[in-house]
Structures are given as structure tokens and as C-alpha cells.
Amino acid sequence: MPSAGIPGWSVIIPAYNEARRLPAYLDEVVAYFEGLDRSYEVLVVDDGSSDGTATHVLEAQAGHPAVTLHRLAVNHGKGFAVRAGMLAARGELRLMADADGATPIGELKRLEAAILAGADIAVGSRALRDPSVTRQVRLHRKLSGEVFNFLVRRLGLPDVADTQCGFKLFRAEVATVLFGELETIGFGFDVELLLLAQRRGYRVTEVAVNWADQPGSKVTVFRDGPHMVRQILAARRRLARRPSASS
């Protein structure tokens, strides 16, 4: 159902040179919501792509007006793009989802259940064990992810096993507050977001999701990992300087 008035759902998809991976996922997302009795919008934030990503989004929009394209002239980073999408979104529940479809859109049901049970934010997780899910992860990404998660636990988020999964659901008011405060524009943004959430006392529930590594990743552990750690340290310094927040 296309959106009229306030949509029930917003799906925010950050996309940087995703002409190959995005179209199939966009089709999957649209088909999923067309089968539900809830209004929705899909915001694709094209972060300065040079490969024709936007053309695919406009094609999808021609068939489904609930799909919209938010085009940034130059590449800023995933955090910048997700923030722009979340702040432009109107849905009561707002999902960020990676363009490659590593997490099937049907996994939304698991996150929604957590929100209905009282969470402010439901965080998809590749680390939580659950017999009802499967993961296909390349070994070097699994190992680097474990090191990263270990560091993040030491850097102030002891209770989140996987901060980096690109599948997170927010209640609208919570998204507006947190993305309004978020400053990290790169891949380290998820950690700042969760640090801000912790500080505000929001309820964060981690939810095991199905996940399959997709070829064509743009994240390079040795190049992006150190940047991400620096972004997290900078976020911690900013938070330490800020007077404590009340929600």
C-alpha cells in the first residue's frame, strides 16, 4: 500500500555504488510491504554514487511511488547517509537496511516483535546464538568482527554483542532524537548511536537475525577498521564533554 498521511514503516537504505546489488533487494522490500496491510515508504539515500544507482531507484519509483530517492551530490559516508534518511523519514517505525540484502526483509518481523515488547531500538545481530537463524559469514570478516566487538565492549557498550549489523529498527521519536545528535558520518556511526541511546536510557534489544554475506562488500577491514576505531574514540570524547542527557 503506498503511503498516504503518516506511513507505518520507513525503510532507509544507504547506497554507495550499489547498481549491482540494490535492484534485487529493492524489489524484495517493495514486494514484502505490498503484501502487508500497512503503509510504507522506502528512502534510498544515494551517497554520491557514480555507477547509475539512482537510475535503478527511479525505475523502482516509477512502479511504486512509495520508493523515493534522496541523492547526495558527493560521497559523505554511511553514517551521513543513514542520518539524512532517518531525519527525512516519516514512518512510525524506521528501519535501516543495507542495500545488499544481507538480511532478508522478512527479518523485520523479529525486530518489530522486540519493539512491541517494549524496546525503543531493536538491533539485528549476527553474534547472538539462536537455533532459528543461520549465518553465512566469510572467516576473515567473522574474526575481524569479533575483535571489533570485543573492542567496542571495552569502549563502553558492554551489552551489545554486534553493533555493526546493518539492520536496525527505531521508534520514530527515538530515531529523531538519536540521529539529531549523531555526528559520526562514517562506518563507526552505529557505535555512537548506541552510546547515545545508552546515555539517554533507551531500551535496546538485540535480536538474532538471518544473515548472509553478499559479494561486493565495500568495507575493507584494514582500511576501514582503524578509521572506525578513531571515530568511536572521537564520539566517546564528545560524549564525555557533553552534559548528561535526559530522554
Ligand X SMILES: Nc1nc2c(ncn2[C@@H]2O[C@H](COP(=O)(O)OP(=O)(O)O)[C@@H](O)[C@H]2O)c(=O)[nH]1
User: Which of residues 74 and 240 has its CB atom nearest to ligand X in the complex?
Assistant: 74
* Candidate list 3, 9, 11, 16; residue touching ligand X; CB under 6 A: 16
Kindly indicate which of the ranges 9-17, 20-28, 98-106, 228-236 contains the residues binding Mg ion, using the contact rule CB under 5 A: 98-106
Q: Does 100 bind ligand X (CB under 6 A)?
A: yes
By CB under 5 A, the residues from 204 to 243 that bind Mg ion are none
By CB under 5 A, the residues from 138 to 177 that bind Mg ion are none
Kindly indicate which of the ranges 35-43, 77-85, 120-128, 235-243 contains the residues binding ligand X, using the contact rule CB under 6 A: 77-85
Kindly indicate which of the ranges 14-22, 87-95, 121-129, 153-161 contains the residues binding ligand X, using the contact rule CB under 6 A: 14-22
3-state secondary structure the chain: CCCCCCCCEEEEEEECCCCCCHHHHHHHHHHHHHCCCCCEEEEEEEECCCCCHHHHHHHHHHHCCCEEEEEECCCCCHHHHHHHHHHHCCCCEEEEECCCCCCCHHHHHHHHHHHHCCCCEEEEECCCCCCCCCEECCHHHHHHHHHHHHHHHHCCCCCCCCCCCCEEEEEHHHHHHHHHHCCCCCCCHHHHHHHHHHHHCCCEEEEECCEECCCCCCCCHHHHHHHHHHHHHHHHHHHHHCCCCCC
Q: Does 99 bind Mg ion (CB under 5 A)?
A: no
- Using an 8 Å Cβ cutoff, are 185 and 240 in contact? no
Out of Mg ion, ligand X, none, which partner does residue 15 contact, by CB within 5 to 8 A per kind? Answer: ligand X
Q: Does 227 bind ligand X (CB under 6 A)?
A: no
Q: Does 107 bind ligand X (CB under 6 A)?
A: no
* Candidate list 18, 47, 100, 192; residue touching Mg ion; CB under 5 A: 100
Name the minimum Å distance from CB 245 to ligand X. Answer: 26
In the chain the first and final C-alpha atoms are separated, in Å, by 33
By CB under 6 A, the residues from 128 to 167 that bind ligand X are 166
Kindly indicate which of the ranges 59-67, 120-128, 147-155, 217-225 contains the residues binding ligand X, using the contact rule CB under 6 A: 217-225
Enter the C-alpha cell of residue 159.
551489552
Name the minimum Å distance from CB 187 to ligand X. Answer: 7
Q: How many CB atoms within 10 Å of residue 79?
A: 23
Q: Does 237 bind ligand X (CB under 6 A)?
A: no
Name the minimum Å distance from CB 21 to ligand X. Answer: 7
Cα-flanking dihedrals φ and ψ of residue 70, to 5°? -115, 110
Judged by the rule CB under 6 A, the positions of this chain that interact with ligand X are 14-16, 18, 47, 75, 77-78, 81, 98-100, 102, 166, 217-219
